Amino acid sequence: MQTETLTLAEIEEIAFAALTAAGTSPENAHPLAKATAETEADGVASHGLAYIPIYCEHVRCGKVDGQATPVIAKPRPAFLTADAATGFAHAAIDAGFAQLFPLAREMGVAGLSIRNSYNCGVLGCHTRRMAEAGLIGLGFTNAPASIAPSGGAKPVVGTNPFSIAVPGEDGKPALLIDQSASTIAKSEVMKHAREGRPIPEGWALDADGNPTTDPAVGLKGSMAPSGGYKGVGVALMVEVLAAALSGAHLGIQASPFSGTAGGPPRTGQFFLAIDPSAGDGAATAVRISQLVAAIRDQEGAHLPGDGRAAARARAEVSGVAVNTATLDKIRAIIEG
């Protein structure tokens, strides 16, 4: 595979140029382009520039409204809602966070519920911002159905990621967990299918619920839940918070995040921001440090998110190697 090394600024620039060329407003393109660069820095290539041609295709076919303006409301003192108006989730999250952060500091805890939304990319990119603002951040997002219930074979819930980020003393997250309810993100299976590579057994199931190493077969079947029935339980929890609570489409109602069929997916997100000082004050930070140290002090042990943090540190210095074929597709969009 041929690659080209780009700086994070160059990744953000090319993503922004493609999105606006496809008909996305600068206000909507900016947060999505920024998140794309952050995702590439974290080493999650499946959700980075590889998704830009899909985003652009969806703007052009009307699956997402690139000109949408999210509408924020405050129905209760510590609860915000955002109607993404079938636009990109990133713009709605940005608008919501602008009110959520100060509200959480005032009230101790505050929630943001988002509906009529679209793929929010890597959920940890959003909760990391919450931790960098000094807040404990929890995030949940639902997705089109791709996981079958225990004992069944027909998908009912999506890969439905959840994330928690905890602030550290250095202004960076002391702990950042970001994981889906499936063994692996569906985008990774899609990536293997595009590249004609088999997937490891345990990633996906065929239409009859049997393990498969063929990504095309897995995409027609279902994703394997992480931890068996426990993964299904996590997916259901996320479905309640991100979709049922917000008024978004359930996974069984949402159109796929790939292809042009089905119209806007209208999925949802939910974020909960907690001010640590509302709990046990400074002692909270001490306990978090003790918890982290108990893991760091073990030889060979690592925390969730360590791999992404290390990749980000390297990317900030050396840039990111990007698939040339992906860059060619993006440049063709820019050139028209």
User: Over the stretch 22-52, which tens digit does the pLDDT of each residue have?
Assistant: 999 999 999 999 999 999 999 998 899 999 9
| CB neighbour list of residue 174: distance below 8 Å, 6 or more residues apart | 131, 166, 167, 168, 288, 289, 292
Give the span between the Cα atoms of 189 and 204, in whole angstroms.
Answer: 8
All domains of the chain, ordered by start, with CATH? 1-61+305-336 (1.10.1530.10), 72-182+225-304 (3.30.1370.60)
pLDDT reported for residue 188: 84
pLDDT reported for residue 59: 98
CA terminus-to-terminus distance, the chain: 25
User: Over the stretch 153-191, which tens digit does the pLDDT of each residue have?
Assistant: 899 999 999 999 999 988 899 999 999 998 888 878 888
DSSP letter string, 39-71: HHHTT-GGGTGGGHHHHHHHHHHTSS-TT---E
pLDDT reported for residue 104: 98
pLDDT reported for residue 1: 76
If we measure between CA atoms, which residue out of 157, 176, 152 comes closest to residue 166? 176
Q: Which residue carries 């489409």 as its tokens?
A: 249
Give the span between the Cα atoms of 55 and 66, in whole angstroms.
Answer: 9
pLDDT reported for residue 279: 87
User: Which sequence positions are flagged as catalytic?
Assistant: 46-47, 188
pLDDT reported for residue 322: 95
| pTM > 0.75: yes or no | yes
pLDDT reported for residue 198: 93
pLDDT reported for residue 171: 87
Tokens of 241: 């918070």
Query: What are the per-10-residue average pLDDT scores of the chain (336 residues)?
Result: 94 98 98 97 93 96 98 98 98 98 98 97 97 97 94 92 94 93 85 88 88 90 89 97 98 94 96 94 88 94 92 96 95 95
Cβ proximity of 305 and 184 under 8 Å: no
Per DSSP, the chain holds a count of helices (H) and strands (E) of 11, 12
| CB neighbour list of residue 230: distance below 8 Å, 6 or more residues apart | none
Amino acid letter, 39: T
DSSP H or E stretch at residue 178: strand 173-179
